[in-house]
């Protein structure tokens, strides 16, 4: 709390002041660099609060944002002809976004029905040779939209898509998705990949029970009880134990 209070007391810089400071920074003036850093720390706090609902530590999120801010200072050029805060916001958000996708560990089996259906039927996305099948055909088979499948593949490519070939973060506000929507989608993709890896570490029967219980066409305890010749209570126990084990595995991944 004192940190935030102290940050708010630091003066903001005008564009002219920034120009003078970066001119000095380009000559190696560390004091000017420190002034720019401190005057933009409140920007990091502001952006961190916008992302505070993603179940990660605010302290860590602010620290990651500060790292993004320092990168922005190192890479900023007066040729950009924009206020530094506008440029730095991209780097701060990118750093926070990367932290969120790498450190959110909750298991969410049901994000949206189409995404859940795609996840539990991933083999339908590929031919026997491993090639990606036609989106429209798969969409028709799974009763989802082609856009759902496109999004699944796009977001499963990982966080590298946040940066262009020059290593600069894209201006997220110039896209159709807000930073919040982009994080949600990437967060879901991260969970899918983590969940898939965790499931493969369970015994075959446990994998089948979990998939059966959480697939689009949910299978009841009675049917699984008959399939494995065990009681419904035993099926429920295996399900709950498997979910607990999944959480432990995903923390370690």
pLDDT tens figures, 3-25: 666 777 777 888 899 999 999 99
DSSP-derived 3-state class of residue 134: coil
Residue at 205 is within a domain: yes
Q: Between 250 and 177, name the one with better pLDDT.
A: 250
Give yes or no for residue 251 having a pLDDT over 80. Answer: no
Task: Specify if 32 maps to a domain.
Answer: yes
Spatial distance between the Cα atoms of 42 and 23, rounded to a whole number of angstroms: 23
The tens digit of pLDDT for each residue in 112-166 reads 667 667 766 777 887 776 677 888 998 898 888 888 787 766 555 444 445 554 5
Q: What CA–CA distances, in Å, run from 69 to 17, 28, 51, 119, 229?
A: 18, 18, 16, 36, 59
| Domain presence at residue 164 | no
What is the dihedral sign for C-alpha 50, 56, 57, 62? negative
The reply to whether 52 falls in a domain is: yes
pLDDT at 37 (0 to 100): 93
Answer whether residue 165 is part of any domain. no
Residues 75 and 154 in one domain: no
Identify whether residues 89 and 131 lie together within a single domain.
no
241 in the same domain as 118: yes
33 contact partners, CB below 8 Å, separation of at least 6: 21, 25, 73
Instruction: Say what the pLDDT of residue 173 is.
Output: 43
In this structure, of 79-88, 150-159, 195-204, 216-225, the range with the lowest mean pLDDT score is 150-159
Q: Model confidence over 82-107: pLDDT tens digits?
A: 889 988 988 898 888 777 765 654 43
| 219 and 125 housed in the same domain | yes
CATH of the domain at 121: 1.10.10.10
How many domains does the chain contain in total?
2
Choose one of 104, 125, 147: the last residue of a domain. 104
Query: Average pLDDT for residues 177-191, to the nearest whole number?
Result: 46
Same domain, 35 and 151: no
* pLDDT for 182: 44
User: pLDDT value at position 7?
Assistant: 74
Domain at 90, CATH number? 1.20.120.1810
Same domain, 239 and 216: yes
Considering the chain, what is the average pLDDT of its residues? 76
Question: Model-level pTM?
Answer: 0.48
Pick 211 or 251 by higher pLDDT: 211
Same domain, residue pair 145 and 82: no
Q: Which structural domain, as residue segments, surrounds residue 141?
A: 113-159+186-252
Q: What is the average per-residue pLDDT within 67-75?
A: 91
pLDDT computed for residue 163 by the predictor: 53
């Amino acid at each position: 709390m004192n940190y935030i209070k102290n940050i708010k007391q630091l003066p903001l810089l005008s564009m002219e002041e920034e120009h003078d400071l970066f001119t000095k920074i380009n000559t190696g003036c560390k004091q000017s660099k420190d002034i720019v850093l401190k005057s933009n720390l409140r920007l990091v706090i502001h952006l961190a609060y916008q992302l505070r609902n993603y179940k990660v530590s605010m302290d860590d999120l602010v620290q990651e944002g500060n790292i993004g801010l320092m990168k922005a200072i190192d890479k900023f050029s007066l040729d950009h002809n924009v206020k530094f805060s506008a440029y730095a916001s991209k780097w701060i958000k990118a750093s926070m976004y990367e932290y969120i996708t790498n450190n959110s560990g909750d298991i969410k089996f049901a994000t949206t029905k189409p995404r859940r259906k795609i996840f539990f039927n991933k083999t339908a996305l590929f031919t026997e040779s491993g090639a990606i099948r036609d989106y429209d055909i798969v969409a028709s088979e799974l009763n989802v939209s082609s856009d759902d499948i496109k999004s699944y593949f796009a977001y499963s490519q990982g966080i590298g898509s946040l940066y262009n070939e020059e290593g600069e973060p894209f201006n997220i506000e110039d896209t159709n998705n807000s930073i919040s929507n982009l994080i949600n989608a990437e967060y879901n993709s991260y969970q899918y990949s983590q969940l898939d890896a965790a499931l493969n570490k369970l015994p075959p029967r446990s994998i089948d029970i979990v998939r059966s219980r959480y697939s689009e066409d949910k299978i009841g305890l009675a049917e699984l009880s008959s399939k494995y010749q065990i009681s419904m209570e035993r099926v429920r126990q295996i399900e709950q134990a498997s979910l607990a084990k999944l959480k432990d595995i995903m923390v370690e991944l």
